[in-house]
Amino acid sequence: MTPKNTIIIGISGASASGKSLLANTIVNELGSDQVVVIPEDSYYKDRSDLPFEERAKINFDHPNSLDFELFHKQLLQLTNGETVQVPIYNHSQHLREKATRTIGKHAIIVLEGILLFAEQPLRELMDIRIYMETALDICLIRRLKRDVKERGRTLDSVLKQYEETVRPMFLQFIEPSKRYADIIVPRGGSNRIAIDMIKAKMRELLGTHFANSPTDP
C-alpha cells in the first residue's frame, strides 16, 4: 500500500450480518469527527432511466449493480485529502437522490457493504479488512424486519428476493471474499470484544495520524 493521508477500514459480510451496527457503534463510541462511515449502498448505479418496475427487478447483490469506478475514484480523492460528493441512495425507490453528502479530510474512513472485498482495486485501498460472520438464518430474520419496517417492502417480496438473489449471490461472491479479511468477527455487530479491539486499533491509528501530521508554524 502506498502512503496516504487517510486510513480506510472495510467491513463486509452477508446482508444484515451486522456491518452497519458495528461500523456506527465504533464511530459513535470513538466520538471523533475525524472518523466517518460510507456505506457501499451509496454507490448503486443510477438507473433513473428505468421505470420503477424494472428497477425493482435489478439484482442488487451482484457486483454489476454497483458503480465501482466512481467508488474507487472518490476513495482515491479522499486519500489525497480532497473533498467529494458521495451519492445518497433511496432504497424504497431504487434510485439516487438528487442531493449528495459532502465528505472530506477525515483521518479514518470506515466502509461497510456486502461486496467491498469482491473488487480487487477497491479492496487494495483498504488498510484493514473486517468480515462479519453471522449465521444466514439470523441475517434473514434481521433483513425481514429491516426491509419491511424501514424500506416499505412486503414480506413476500423480501423472501422472494432473498431466495432468488441474496442467498445465491452471497454464496457466489460474498462468502468467497472472506479470504481477503484481516479480521473475522463472529456473532454480529454487538460483539463487544471485537468492538473494543477495533476501537483500540483505530485510536492507535488516529494517534499516529496526528503525530505525523504537519503542525502550523
> What pLDDT is recorded for position 3?
46
pLDDT score of 216 more than 70: no
Express each pLDDT in 167-183 by its tens digit: 999 999 999 999 999 99
C-alpha cell at position 68: 465501482
> What pLDDT is recorded for position 217?
41
Stretch 46-50: mean pLDDT: 91
pTM of the model: 0.89
The class that CATH gives domain 7-206 is alpha beta
Rounded distance, CA 61 to CA 136, Å? 15
pLDDT confidence tier of residue 213, bands split at 50, 70 and 90: low
- Smallest CA-to-CA distance from 109 within 64, 134, 74 is with 74
Distances (CA, A) of 61 to 13, 76, 171, 174: 12, 24, 11, 9
Instruction: Report the SS3 class of residue 57.
Output: coil
> What pLDDT is recorded for position 78?
94
Q: Where are the domains of the chain?
A: 7-206
> What pLDDT is recorded for position 31?
85
C-alpha cell at position 204: 492507535
